[in-house]
Structure 1
Amino acid sequence: MPSYVTDANLNSYQLAFCGGVAGVVSRFVISPLDVVKIRMQLQTHRTHFKFKGETPPHVKYSRVMPALKTILREEGIRGLYKGNLPAEYLYLSYSAVEFWAYKELETLLEKLDSNQILPRTSKTFLAGMMAGTAATSATYPFDLLRTRFAIQGEHKHYTGMAQAIRHIYRQEGLRGLYQGLWPTVVQIMPYMGLLFTGYDAIAGAFKVLRDEQILPASYKPTHDMISGALSGILSKTAIYPFDVVRKRMQVQGPYLSDYIVPAPKIQTSGQMTLWSCFKNIVQQEGARSLYKGLMPSLIKVAPANAVTFLVFEESKKILLWWKEDEG
């Protein structure tokens, strides 16, 4: 039985098209918040769970709105869209691969579980987890480039996509394009599993209420947006520390500290592992620092997933209408 995400009348390539469209639209909407989140994540001041006076004067990006104003004032509107081109490539390819893989994996799991032994939530979680892993591995260099572009200051170390890829490959080798892949995969597996499971459960509940005419069918787009926003918030909060570690690992390596704002005080000789990076952040900056940038991330993830699933569902509707009209 297809989940709420998929449709028996659409194949995996058609769902990949819907996912790609949704990814592009979603990325453009949330780009400024993504830049703020990355800048906050890469600040290395010590944070505390209890409020201790005013924010230290050396902390440049402390809250969302002041950070947006600072970037806008110092770097202009283009500063809020730094890294947007590689990010658009990332969201386009990532979402296309993700929804294609989800459909394929869901079909495979249904065949393997022909007796319906596994509960639907387990299969949705597994399909989402594996689809996220496949999409992440396939598109990771775009994610790394998005981060590198987003943290540049006035001195432009990277001037374009091709130049950035050549520079990273020359200075850091092929491995440089995959800095932080392991913590990303560790993060994305539970995140995407929880995201698809949460969306399927919440959107499915709305569908039941619509079918029973408790809620009007005309509000389906709103229900899809609410389902996407809530599932995104819950899953992002659960795995957020891995996102901070991933960003720190992405800006490791030589030749970076003079070109990024702010320059994170992290190990640059040799390669820091996932767990040593965790330990380093907790020891030097405090445990709460694993949640730096959480607020802009949640402010970002809610509309991002709301828009993604809304556009995805509307794209599905258009394709189904087109197929019926052709038939």
Structure 2
Amino acid sequence: MSAEIDYEALPDTAGHGVHMLAGALAGISEHAIMFPVDSIKTRMQVLSPSPAAIYSGMSNAITRISSTEGLRTLWRGVASVIAGAGPAHAVQFGTLEAVNDMMGKREGSSAWVSTAVAGAAAAITSDAVMTPFDVIKQRMQVHNSEYRSVITCAKTLYRREGLTAFYVSYPTTLLMTIPFTAVQFSVYDRTLNYINPHRKYDPLSHIISGGFAGAVAAAVTTPLDVAKTLLQTRGTTEDKEIRAANGIRDAVRIIWKRDGLRGFGRGLTPRVLTFMPSNALCWMSYEFFKMALRLGGEQQTPPRTSTHA
């Protein structure tokens, strides 16, 4: 038996607050760094009658936006996502750890089920916090957005469309993020078990597992993300049919009618390219902050003994 740092064995005094703080710091890091790619994804998903707002691909979008609006435009709305990402990810990781503790440690095939359930519960709670911020973010990201301030956008949106505008996409968001989070956490957990079976602190294994999990989950849920974008940006268009969309059924019908099956793959490449590195960064940051916070708590708590091989 040897004494070594077991970074997952948090001090007894830490509780779920450590997981929530680590999750908040990880979420802010993830969203802030990958925001420009997310802006391109939003632009590519929006159904617009204006030729100036239609992009044939990611490189085309970057070239045209940089030449006509400036690359700084790609950061418009970042304040909203940063403001929402902290509390949303704190709730997400706090819920994840709480549900995992409640369900207990499981092995074999049942581990997939418990991880997926914990991931789904985390998605429901975090999306309740994040959805209004995401709506504001996308209203600021679209082509020729009238908004330059998060507060102005929120006030104007509430005055024109009411409180429902902030949550009209919440059911669709849940339909997307519950499978996204369940797939993400399950793939991350299984991949990490394969490449880091002893669960030692190893940033490279967290980066690989997180990146792979993010890419798989992003690809699987892109069609629902396209529908969500239509609902969240409906107030930015003069198209009466889109403005009248009230839920996922309307969104799916409009996308299918205008673009067919191809329409549900809009923004697939930038979405995967967003979530692969951002998920890798998120998990690496989460595990790092959890480690750092644990070591900080260890100054007041006697070191724990691990029996890892």
Bucket of the pairwise TM-score, normalised by the shorter protein: 0.7 to 0.9
Q: Confirm whether residue 39 of structure 1 aligns to residue 5 of structure 2.
A: no
How far does residue 109 in structure 1 lie from its aligned partner after superposition? 2.0
TM-score (norm 1): 0.82
2:207 to 225, 229, 234: 225
2-structure distance, mates of 1:59, 1:269: 17
How far does residue 36 in structure 1 lie from its aligned partner after superposition? 0.4
1-structure distance, mates of 2:287, 2:247: 39
2-structure distance, mates of 1:202, 1:118: 14
Q: Which amino acid aligns with 2:135?
A: L
Q: Confirm whether residue 30 of structure 1 aligns to residue 57 of structure 2.
A: no
Question: What is residue 294 of structure 1 aligned with on the other side?
Answer: 268
Question: What is residue 20 of structure 1 aligned with on the other side?
Answer: 24
Aligned residue pairs total 293
Question: What is residue 279 of structure 1 aligned with on the other side?
Answer: 253
2-structure distance, mates of 1:63, 1:288: 13
2:101 to 96, 107, 132: 107
After TM superposition, where is structure 1 displaced by more than 6 Å over at least 4 residues in a row? 114-118
Question: What is residue 137 of structure 1 aligned with on the other side?
Answer: 128
Contact 1:252 1:268 in 2 (8 A): yes
Deviations 1:230-265 (A, max 9, x none): 001111111110000000011224xx226xxxxxx5
Contact 1:102 1:128 in 2 (8 A): yes
Q: Confirm whether residue 165 of structure 1 aligns to residue 150 of structure 2.
A: no
Q: Confirm whether residue 95 of structure 1 aligns to residue 89 of structure 2.
A: yes
How far does residue 269 in structure 1 lie from its aligned partner after superposition? 5.1
SS of aligned partner of 2:196: helix
Percent identity over the alignment is: 22
Gaps of 5+ in 1: 46-56, 212-216, 259-264
Q: Which amino acid aligns with 2:237?
A: S
Q: RMSD of aligned C-alpha atoms?
A: 2.5
The verdict on how the C-alpha distance between 1:201 and 1:115 changes in structure 2, with shifts beyond 3 A counting, is: closer
How far does residue 59 in structure 1 lie from its aligned partner after superposition? 6.7
SS of aligned partner of 2:55: coil
Q: Confirm whether residue 80 of structure 1 aligns to residue 74 of structure 2.
A: yes
Gaps of 5+ in 2: 1-5, 302-309
2-structure distance, mates of 1:59, 1:324: 54
Question: What is residue 296 of structure 2 aligned with on the other side?
Answer: 322
Q: Which amino acid aligns with 1:41?
A: Q
The verdict on how the C-alpha distance between 1:20 and 1:245 changes in structure 2, with shifts beyond 3 A counting, is: same
Q: Spell out the pairing of 1:111-122 with structure 2 (5 A cutoff).
A: 119-122=110-113
TM-score (norm 2): 0.87
Contact 1:248 1:266 in 2 (8 A): no
Question: What is residue 241 of structure 2 aligned with on the other side?
Answer: 267
How far does residue 201 in structure 1 lie from its aligned partner after superposition? 0.8
1:202 to 185, 191, 211: 191
